[in-house]
């Protein structure tokens, strides 16, 4: 990857590819999840436990092959009874359905390997089969010319009884072109013992391993195209699918309309019937039924948009709630704010929520009208049915039903505007500045 960041922490659809692999495993409801980390282990642990606090981290201080990596979990699983599946943090798209089928196959086979039919087998390990039996896995560098013609390839994913898995790993040797401990060798060892080995196949796209920035871009495209198709199949309208970008955990209800050039960061839920107009950027927010967002709106983490609320163009909302029917038309920033039902926030309104050290809240009641270009200096409360005059700087609470006017009195100085401009022009002509 030519990066200081561990490979598995590079993002696809707003999440580290490691998180995608962890998410895939949730379909089988694992009782234990163990992450084998080498380079950048502290960063890997932080990302893994942020997604799943129960994830356990074990260290691989030397990188001596895939069997060596899997063997690092031996001590952690010494008392565990049940099956273990080995996944790869740089292979993010193994589907939940595929993993379920792997475990179904475990009912009749001691070792199950996930394979795929490759259009161009290239450097993939080959699965050598006889009928329904998997005889061995041969790495491409160790294949014979005939074996290289096989297009049934190894994804790396495999499952076995835990005790059996580590028993087989204990017999793996390094007599191969790389001089490493290959996890794939356990298939040949299992067959030599009279154990049964089987193959489950999946589409090649699921097995994409990411080893470069080019692969990362390919993975992003695969995810986006797949997720867009799923949403449209589920009743979501994407007016320009190619410019709608989704996160790994985006949830969108039916009859939602999404305009072009819209980006969903992590943690977004959009309820039925909402309308997201073009050029919006959404992350960490919840948009309720019938709400209308954009165009050119930005919803940041903690934004909660109520039923039938309206957020217009060039509005930014952070850690704030808009109740049912509230309207924020344009050119406004709301941070750490609650807006009551059916209140109207005028253009150019700013909640001044940060004093340089602490954040403070602004509370706006129901049926409030905030005049254009109002600055609300938090902490401050505007009561139900109150009104703020255009251009006001509100520093004190406004009682329910009151009108707050907080601006300097206008004074007109006769002729001073023209005289002032004439003076400036004279200075410019003389090559001087005021």
Tell me: domain 213-404, CATH 2.60.120.10, correct?
Answer: no
Query: Helix or strand or coil: residue 309?
Result: coil
The answer to whether domain 7-207 and domain 213-404 are alike in fold is no
What was the pLDDT predicted at 177? 78
What was the pLDDT predicted at 339? 98
Beta strands in 3-151 (DSSP E): 11-12, 15-16, 34-37, 56-59, 83-86, 111-117, 126-130, 133-138
What was the pLDDT predicted at 176? 82
**What is the rounded CA–CA span in Å between residue 105 and residue 27?**
15
- Report DSSP state, residue 432: -
List average pLDDT for each run of 10 residues in the chain, which is 434 residues long.
95 97 91 94 97 96 93 96 95 94 96 96 94 93 93 96 97 89 95 97 94 95 97 98 98 98 98 98 98 98 98 98 97 98 98 96 98 98 98 97 94 95 94 90
Overall CATH class of domain 7-207: alpha beta
Q: Where are the domains of the chain?
A: 7-207, 213-404
pTM, 2 dp: 0.90
What was the pLDDT predicted at 39? 87
Q: What positions carry a catalytic annotation?
A: 330
What was the pLDDT predicted at 345? 98
What are the structure tokens assigned to 371, written together? 């005049």
């Amino acid at each position: 990857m030519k990066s200081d960041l561990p490979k598995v922490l590079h993002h696809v659809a707003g999440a580290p590819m490691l998180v995608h692999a962890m998410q895939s495993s949730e379909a089988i409801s694992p009782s234990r999840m163990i992450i084998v980390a080498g380079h950048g282990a502290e960063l890997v642990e932080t990302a893994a436990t942020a997604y799943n606090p129960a994830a356990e981290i074990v260290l691989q201080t030397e990188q001596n092959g895939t069997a060596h990596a899997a063997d690092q979990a031996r001590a952690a699983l010494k008392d565990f009874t049940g099956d273990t599946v080995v996944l790869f943090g740089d292979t993010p798209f193994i589907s939940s359905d595929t993993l379920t089928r792997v475990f179904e196959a475990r009912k009749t086979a001691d070792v199950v390997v996930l394979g795929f039919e490759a259009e161009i087998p290239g450097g993939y390990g080959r699965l050598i089969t006889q009928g329904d039996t998997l005889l061995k896995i041969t790495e491409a560098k160790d294949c014979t010319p005939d074996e290289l013609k096989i297009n049934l390839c190894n994804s790396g994913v495999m499952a076995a009884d835990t005790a059996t898995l580590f028993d087989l790993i204990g017999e793996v040797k390094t007599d191969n072109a790389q001089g490493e401990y290959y996890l794939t060798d356990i298939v040949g060892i299992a067959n030599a013992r009279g154990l049964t080995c089987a193959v489950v196949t999946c589409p090649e796209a699921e097995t994409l391993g990411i080893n470069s920035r080019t692969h990362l871009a390919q993975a992003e495209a695969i995810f986006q195209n797949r997720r867009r198709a799923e949403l449209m199949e589920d009743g979501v309208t994407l007016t320009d699918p190619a410019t709608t970008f989704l996160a790994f955990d985006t949830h969108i209800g039916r009859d939602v309309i999404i305009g072009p050039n819209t980006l969903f960061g992590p943690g977004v839920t959009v309820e039925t019937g909402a309308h997201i107009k073009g050029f919006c950027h959404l992350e960490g927010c919840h948009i309720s039924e019938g709400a209308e967002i954009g165009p050119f709106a930005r919803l940041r983490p903690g934004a909660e948009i109520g039923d039938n609320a309206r957020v217009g163009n060039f509005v930014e909302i952070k850690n704030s709630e808009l109740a049912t029917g509230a309207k924020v038309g344009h050119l406004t920033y709301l941070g750490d704010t609650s807006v009551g039902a059916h209140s109207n926030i005028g253009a150019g309104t700013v909640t001044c929520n940060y004093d340089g050290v602490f954040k403070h809240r602004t509370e706006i009641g129901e049926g409030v009208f905030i005049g254009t270009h109002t600055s609300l200096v938090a902490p401050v409360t505007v009561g139900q049915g109150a009104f703020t005059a255009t251009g006001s700087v509100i520093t004190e609470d406004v009682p329910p039903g009151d009108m707050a006017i907080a601006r300097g009195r206008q004074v007109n100085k006769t002729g001073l505007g023209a005289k002032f401009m004439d003076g400036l022009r004279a200075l410019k002509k003389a090559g001087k500045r005021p």
